[in-house]
Structure 1
Amino acid sequence: MTNNVEILRYAAFTGDPEGGNPAGIVLDAEALSDAEMLAIAAEVGYSETAFVTGRDGEGRGFRVRYFAPSAEVAFCGHATIATSVALAERIGAGRLVFDTNAGEIVVDAFVDGEVLRATLTSVPTRSAPVAEKVLDETLAALGWSRDDLDRAFPPHVAFGGNDHLMLAAASHERLADLDYDFDGLRSIMTREGWTTVNLFWRESDERFHSRNPFPVGGVVEDPATGAAAAAFGGYLRTIGTGSDEFTIIQGADMGRPSELKVSIAAADGRTRVSGGAVAM
């Protein structure tokens, strides 16, 4: 308990409490102010904490807000998966509807073997090329050059609830060697309105590896980023590359391996992102 508020801690996109991306969850946050929610998120220290601030009369629709340690974010995928599993443990599996600052997010919670999993359906996605000058600034902050990029994947800014820069590494080694200018990248991201930079490497059309610097949230890196995965699905659909169903491996370089299952709904531009979650 913190300030008489019960804070749950779940790891998302994993079945192992030692893996995945930790999320804080406050299921009864209706009486909390914005300042109190931000203070709790900072104290918890995870990349995001989800706050359930309201519930509809039928009991399966919820108002949810997300706070990083330093700011509120419109949408967070891993905290959505974690909150959905926590709610399903209490009210049963099935469909949930989250009213978020990014829009309505439908989530289906279900039992898969011995693990509760959830699949979120994102808001409609979009993607467009990043400005060349901004790309050069970002590469300099990352310590990358254009030769480090996979030219099969043009750099884009993609949206799936938040904006994320998409940068493809030419090799797994380049992706694994992450040592960037925290303040410099944060300044660029704040100016451009990006939530994370989604760095990825294609192992195959069905399997990608990803890392997500998150300095605007006050943390160096996110071990599993459902919002970026949703945006990434929209990005791949826009550029016409990859499979309609694929897996993202993230967090392995941080010692918190995560697995995100992604499918693209081509008709409406939404992305479905699925994963398990367990209490820590």
Structure 2
Amino acid sequence: MSSHTAADVLRYTAFSADPGGGNPAGIVLDASALDDAAMLAVAAELGYSESAFLTSPDGRGGYTVRYFSPKAEVPFCGHATVAAAIALAERDGPGDLVFSTPAGTVPVTVVREGDELRATLTSVEPHTTDAAPEDVAEALAALDWSVAELDAALPARIAYAGARHLVLAAATRERLAELSYDFARLEALMQRLDLTTVQLVWRESATVFHVRDPFPVGGVVEDPATGAAAAAFGAYARELGLVPHDAVLTLHQGADMGRPGTLTVELRPGDARIRVSGTGTRIG
């Protein structure tokens, strides 16, 4: 990193306790000396789907956090939030943190479970909106999916819990496994709709889902474990009445990429915000 900054860049994976699983993120615990161009350069050099940059510690667990993909700043990133929280917990011990992000305030709690650290983030207020039929048709065309391959019980929606995601549900695990899409075409649609990822879902059981997240707007083909999309999906599932209001959902992601990870999504009655938790570890 010495080419453009003296920043101390840590590498952590989130949503797996295995350095070879989950979603890697770059973490800069003190980015106070970095301007926007330097942060983007760090993210681009790392090549991870996102990196997190922390400033303004208040001594009480509060930090200002910004997130950059290799191509642009993003308003919120779940996996880099989990990774940063675990990095702080390894330095300072487990406990409660508050991240001030461009999308809003995100509390994070880190606890130790045996040999592992687990971080739980609480999303900003989520919502879902209808996806225009012509936009869904364009997404399917870019993905080379047919309408017949969709699960009609999980209709297409745009879901938000800090970033916007188009939720599309496959009727079979096989359809989800065969991801080969038109990068430029999907990227153009996502830019127009201000989408961070497309959340592709297959429902295995009442509370278990398999997900994949194309991320061409970030400059990568696919995100291995997407905390922001998991939070958005929790809101989607609740608003559509697919799960109870006090459900705990398990999302499996990354297996098709050889980087398996597990995201736990918790819904609580009377609280619109979604909790997403996972383990994490430093990458050697």
The TM-score, its normalising length taken from structure 1, stands at 0.98
Letter in 2 for 1:64: V
Alignment of 1:90-101 (within 5 A): 90-101=91-102
Aligned partner (choices 20, 32, 39) of residue 34 of structure 2: 32
Deviations 1:145-176 (A, max 9, x none): 11111000110000000000000000000000
Indicate if the aligned counterparts of 1:48 and 1:79 stay in contact, CA closer than 8 A: yes
How far the C-alpha of 1:268 sits from its partner, in A, is: 2.8
Aligned partner (choices 48, 55, 75) of residue 53 of structure 1: 55
Q: Residue 185 of structure 1 aligns with which residue?
A: 186
2:224 is the counterpart of 1:197: no
Task: Give the RMSD, CA atoms, in angstroms.
Answer: 0.8
Aligned partner (choices 246, 258, 261) of residue 258 of structure 1: 261
Alignment of 1:119-134 (within 5 A): 119-134=120-135
Letter in 2 for 1:71: A
Distance verdict in 2 for CA 1:77–1:250, change over 3 Å: same
2:231 is the counterpart of 1:230: yes
CA distance in 1, matches of 2:183, 2:213: 13
Indicate if the aligned counterparts of 1:110 and 1:117 stay in contact, CA closer than 8 A: yes
Deviates further, 261-270 or 72-81: 261-270
CA distance in 2, matches of 1:69, 1:4: 19
Q: Residue 76 of structure 1 aligns with which residue?
A: 77
Indicate if the aligned counterparts of 1:24 and 1:41 stay in contact, CA closer than 8 A: yes
Letter in 1 for 2:198: V
Q: Residue 272 of structure 1 aligns with which residue?
A: 275
Aligned partner (choices 224, 249, 254) of residue 252 of structure 2: 249
CA distance in 2, matches of 1:198, 1:192: 14
Indicate if the aligned counterparts of 1:237 and 1:266 stay in contact, CA closer than 8 A: no
| SS at structure 1 position matched to 2:204 | strand
How far the C-alpha of 1:266 sits from its partner, in A, is: 3.5
CA distance in 2, matches of 1:61, 1:116: 19
| SS at structure 2 position matched to 1:5 | coil
How far the C-alpha of 1:59 sits from its partner, in A, is: 3.5
Q: Residue 166 of structure 2 aligns with which residue?
A: 165
Letter in 1 for 2:275: R
CA distance in 2, matches of 1:117, 1:16: 13
Deviations 1:104-135 (A, max 9, x none): 00000000110011000000110122000111
Deviates further, 26-35 or 265-274: 265-274
CA distance in 1, matches of 2:42, 2:279: 24
Indicate if the aligned counterparts of 1:78 and 1:227 stay in contact, CA closer than 8 A: yes
How far the C-alpha of 1:276 sits from its partner, in A, is: 0.5
| SS at structure 2 position matched to 1:55 | coil
Q: Residue 138 of structure 2 aligns with which residue?
A: 137
CA distance in 1, matches of 2:90, 2:49: 23
How many residue pairs get aligned? The number is 279
- Show structure 1 runs of 5+ residues with no match: none
Distance verdict in 2 for CA 1:167–1:239, change over 3 Å: same
- Show structure 2 runs of 5+ residues with no match: none
CA distance in 1, matches of 2:271, 2:141: 36
Indicate if the aligned counterparts of 1:129 and 1:154 stay in contact, CA closer than 8 A: no
Alignment of 1:85-124 (within 5 A): 85-124=86-125
Query: 4+ runs of 1 displaced by more than 3 Å?
Result: none
How far the C-alpha of 1:242 sits from its partner, in A, is: 2.4
